[in-house]
Amino acid sequence: MYGYVSERRSPVRGQGQHVLVVADGPEITELLSTTLELAGYHVKIAADGAELTARLAEHHFDLVVLDAMMTDLGGVPRRHRLAPSGRPPVLLLTECDSLGSLIPDLGLGEVDYVTKPFRIAEVLARAQVLLRGRGAGRGDGSPHYGDLVLDDATCQARRGQRALDLTPAEYRLLRHLLVNAEQVFSKNQISRHVWGEVRAENAIEKLVSRLRRKVNQEEPALIHTRRGFGYWLGRATL
């Protein structure tokens, strides 16, 4: 049997990284997705190889948790399609007697495995090892979302090759939205994070408007308004 969700008491915690779960069967999928969400990750699910490929093309993920024993992956090669440079690391779920065939797939730091039946605490621990130092960023530790990259050492940002001329408040807001991508923040939450106090709504609206003009010059637009709720960063879907 697999570990219970109650094992979330483990001290291993995520920091809002985006995880794609591809597991064999609804029971394992629900167990993994629920536990990872409770541990602080943003989780999406793919049911087969075709959906896995589509998800990776549409969204940025920091980690893929992949059931290596699935029979409907559609011939998707484990390592070369999922973990080349610029792709997320992969945590494979596999059976003990299959480890021999997986050895070529186990790269240095890019691919790891947990044997089935697995314990949730072990899944969380191995995920943390794969994500260590990545945060919401790239292999070099730079926070990024798509072609939007931040450099915390210099407090500078760029979109593709274009440098963004940001004020300190704009940089703080952009970083907060980026590392919490696809999460909506109210004006009050933004005000407290950027200035440490509540400010007038028009001050927040002007700040977001300036930042949006600087970031959204290229496609796709990344900063959006959720009318009546607040603002978020990500790729809007129809």
Q: Where are the domains of the chain?
A: 5-131, 144-233
Cα atoms in the Cβ-side hemisphere of radius 13 Å centred on 78 = 24
- % of the chain at pLDDT higher than 70: 76
The Cα–Cα gap between 155 and 38 comes to 31
Q: What digits encode the pLDDT tens for the residues 169-198?
A: 999 899 889 878 888 999 999 998 888 788
Q: What digits encode the pLDDT tens for the residues 61-109?
A: 888 998 887 766 655 544 444 444 446 788 888 776 555 555 444 443 3
The Cα–Cα gap between 111 and 79 comes to 8
Q: Which CATH number fits domain 144-233: 3.40.190.10, 1.10.10.10, 2.60.120.960, 3.30.1370.10?
A: 1.10.10.10
Helix (H) or strand (E) run with residue 145 in it: strand 144-145
Q: What class, spelled out in words, does domain 5-131 have in CATH?
A: alpha beta
Q: What is the mean pLDDT of residues 160-172?
A: 92
pTM score, whole prediction: 0.49
